[in-house]
Amino acid sequence: MAEVLSAPAELTATTPGMIDAAAAVTARRMHLPTPEAALERLRVNDPTALSYFRYELARQVGELLLRYDRHVVALYEEQEVPDGEELAPPEISLHDPLRVYVLVEHATHALDQLLAALDDALTEALAARFGRPAARCLHAVVVEEAQAALIRPRARGYRPRPALILSRETASATSACSSGATKS
């Protein structure tokens, strides 16, 4: 059963920790001495730091959604692709929204409210951490399993399938592995 969440209060308290954790993962992946060093790289829009940070932040969004809404099945991140074959993919910025697809058994108004509250809380936390407020931090499209074709690769033209960030199965397997590792 899903936990009860007092969205505005709990998310306002939770999201700064999500940003700190994403910065810590970024620092480890880039072999930086501290999470603060990763935050500095993010401030100057280092593409590698941004990639790691945005992926980890999306993964944490997925964990939160899976924990608080039993209808969520998986979270996918839209892949950035160039506008034309001969062009490079667009450069991302710290203040560009995370573009995700939330695969659900069936859409609910509660999930829409949770996503809006999470967007507000993440936007506020990023503005507090980096000084410049983003207009919107999370651009989430809710897709019911019956309409899952929306997250498949496009038949004409180059448009890859969104990348799976986290699913209920992988979250369960990861939880089982980590809880088994702590029991030894």
- What does the block give as tokens for 115? 């996503």
**Structural domain total, the chain:** 1
pLDDT at 11: 86
| pLDDT tens column, 53-93 | 999 999 999 999 999 899 999 999 887 655 555 555 567 78
88 within a domain of the structure (yes/no):
no
45 within domain boundaries: yes
Residue 2: inside a domain: no
Taking each helix axis from N to C end, the angle separating 109-130 and 47-68, rounded to the nearest 10 degrees, works out to 140
Q: Is 20 helix (H, G, I), strand (E, B) or coil?
A: helix
**In a domain? residue 48:** yes
Residue appearing with tokens 């910025």? 93
pTM of this structure? 0.80
Range of the domain at 152: 7-80+94-172
**pLDDT tens track of the chain, all 184 residues?**
444 455 567 888 899 999 999 999 999 999 999 999 999 999 999 999 999 999 999 999 999 999 989 999 999 988 765 555 555 556 778 888 999 999 999 999 999 999 999 999 999 999 999 887 667 889 999 999 888 776 765 555 555 678 888 888 866 555 444 444 443 3
| Residue 1 lies inside a defined structural domain of this protein | no
Q: Which residue, among 47, 48, 16, 42, has the nearest Cα to 30 in the 3D structure?
A: 48
Do residues 140 and 34 lie in contact, with contact meaning Cβ atoms separated by under 8 Å? no
Q: Cα(177)–Cα(171) distance, rounded to whole angstroms? A: 10
Q: What is the residue whose two structure tokens read 């892949």?
A: 79
Q: In sequence order, which residues have a C-beta less than 8 Å from that of residue 103 and are 6 or more positions away?
A: 72, 73, 74, 75, 76, 143, 144, 145, 148, 151, 167
- Return the residue matching tokens 């996503």: 115
Q: What is the pLDDT, as a whole number, of residue 166?
A: 87
Q: In one letter, which amino acid is 146?
A: A
